[in-house]
Structure 1
Amino acid sequence: MRSLAVSYVRVAGVERISPRMLRITFSGDALASLMEDRPDQQMKLCFPRRGQDVPRLPEPHAEDAYGMRWYEAYLAIPEPERPLMRSFTVRSYDPGPGLMAVDFVLHDGGGPATRWACAAGPGDVVGMVGPSSAYARPLPGTEGLLLAGDASALPAIGTILESLPAGARATVCVEVADAAEEQRFDSAAEVTVRWVHRDRGESLLDAVRSAALPEGSAAAWLAGEAGTVRALRRHLVEERGLPRSAVEFSGYWRRALTQDDAPTEEDLAWARERAAEA
């Protein structure tokens, strides 16, 4: 068991791909050994505090693949110096020049990741924890797949669709602020996309309720705001009859809470359920 992957990455380029999303490309000496050939690679970025050029990170411990000892050392850093850590999905990796792309949703109100991304320029440094195969959860094995999520799920949805083979079928429901946030997906699979626009009063839950599941054995992948993901999963399992094992789900963020806030009882219950199904 190898230790948790902790490294520094440097901004190589910034591209605005929609009014509310930035694509930031990173380079780093460790990227070649960390990237894997699979979709939905999740990791954490650590942003420097005010007055820091480079975030302060503890060293990884040997035989600590799940990062518990590292996280204890991270919490032991005095809060004014402790980097602000947020979760992201690797949007793409180009092994030739060794570049990793990460998409940042620019949230209203501007949290630490949004503020950093809006000011980022070539040469800026952040810390990276992961990606780690210890947390990899394979997609349900099926020819028909429902993908549903909000804007925060767009990077993962893009990588999943790009990985699907010819002959697969996917129905995609994505909630975004408005039509300007729509993206184009490339896939060898047969893909149907329903864009859900908040400015028109549309909701992701309503879109999934009205969506036709792919024919044959269907499975689902859900991600986004935790409360919405829970409601989507209940609908698919209790009302549409999908087996629990056929629904992969992840709450990327919590309304009115950040990753710095303690988990709620509902968060803990959900984590236990995910662990039991792993």
Structure 2
Amino acid sequence: MQLPVTLVQVIDVERITPRMARITLEADALVESVGRTPDQQVKLCFPRPGQEGPRLPAQGDDPMSWYQAYLAVPEAERPWMRSFTLRRRRPGTRVVEIDFVLHGDTGPASAWAGRARPGERLGMVGPSELYAPPVPLGAAVAGADWVLLAGDETALPAVGTLLEALPAGTPTVAYLEVADAAERQLLDTRADLTVHWLHRDGAAPGGPLTDAVRRAELPGGTPFAWLAGEAAAVRALRRHLVGERGLAEASVEFAGYWRRRLTQDDAPTAEDLADAQEKLAQAQAAG
């Protein structure tokens, strides 16, 4: 399986909320599958200070060999790699939009996005089923009575794509945690959507979201649930839905996008590895 690798160039930067920027990128090359399904993830590669663009190995047919070549780049020159969800692809073009949560200079992605200007270049790897299998939305919705979406602001780009892909009239409930009221976004969907916006207003990330779902009077019937955001909060929500609400494990899609006090460069914890094993088992069971 070939791992798509390309360079992308900034062509526009828009601040859609005080803490989120939508950056439009044009790719040198783009595989046809990009933008075809919701919740598609890519890895962006950010240049080190003093570099005009990221130093990346050429695309090859063996993904593992490519990644080994990436790791072989001296650390001082190796691009920082971070995972993002494609917000959309403009039809008939090589242009994609990616939303960035801005949290100052505490990480290379946020620091770059806060200062991004047209003409700057990044690397883009993926999307690839090797690290992010597609969400089986059609089959999941067909077998469910309603849909539950829960996440923090890092999940909003994926939530947007899922809502836009849901069939008209699908009963859907979303619990979305953001920093404050200014971070709310307009959500476009044909689904029958009820949104609960949860404002942290200084509270610890994940707390308002997990508390709200635990207290919620959810609709009856069998749901399909999609959870994403801070890893510990997602883990707690999944355990609540499966252990206390009685949802089948196979009906809950989940992803820990970030970890408090840890970055994507830090080694996975024992809980991270357990989550990865559960997701692998879930994917294998789904066929």
| Shorter-chain TM-score range | over 0.9
Whether the 8 Å CA contact 2:231–2:257 is kept in 1: the answer is yes
Whether the 8 Å CA contact 2:10–2:121 is kept in 1: the answer is yes
- Deviation, 1:260, is 0.5
Task: Write the deviation string for residues 86-128 of structure 1: whole angstroms up to 9, x where unpaired.
Answer: 0000001112443200000012553100111111111110000
- Equivalents in 2 of 1:50, 1:275: separation in Å? 36
- Aligned-partner residue type, residue 196 of structure 2: R
Unaligned runs of 5+ in 1: none
Whether the 8 Å CA contact 1:6–1:59 is kept in 2: the answer is yes
SS in 1 for 2:201: helix
Which stretch shows the higher mean deviation, 244-253 or 138-147?
A: 138-147
Q: How does the TM-score come out when normalised to structure 2?
A: 0.91
Q: Which residue of 2 aligns with 1:48?
A: 47
Task: Write the deviation string for residues 139-160 of structure 1: whole angstroms up to 9, x where unpaired.
Answer: 3332411000011000000000
Q: Which residue of 2 aligns with 1:275?
A: 280
- Aligned-partner residue type, residue 268 of structure 1: L
Matched, 1:119 2:146: no
- Aligned-partner residue type, residue 204 of structure 1: L
- Equivalents in 1 of 2:157, 2:16: separation in Å? 12
Which stretch shows the higher mean deviation, 215-224 or 197-206?
A: 197-206
Q: How does the TM-score come out when normalised to structure 1?
A: 0.94
CA gap of 1:130–1:32, structure 2 versus 1, over 3 A, is closer
Q: Which residue of 1 aligns with 2:174?
A: 172
Q: How does 1:53-202 map to 2 (within 5 A)?
A: 53-62=52-61, 64=62, 67-134=63-130, 135-139=133-137, 140-141=140-141, 142-199=144-201, 201=203
Q: What value does the CA root-mean-square deviation take over the aligned residues?
A: 1.5
Unaligned runs of 5+ in 2: none
- Deviation, 1:44, is 0.5
- Equivalents in 1 of 2:53, 2:84: separation in Å? 19
SS in 2 for 1:118: helix
- Equivalents in 1 of 2:43, 2:118: separation in Å? 20
- Equivalents in 2 of 1:248, 1:148: separation in Å? 11
- Deviation, 1:272, is 1.0
SS in 1 for 2:111: helix
Task: Write the deviation string for residues 52-92 of structure 1: whole angstroms up to 9, x where unpaired.
Answer: 00100012331x3xx32222111111000000000000001
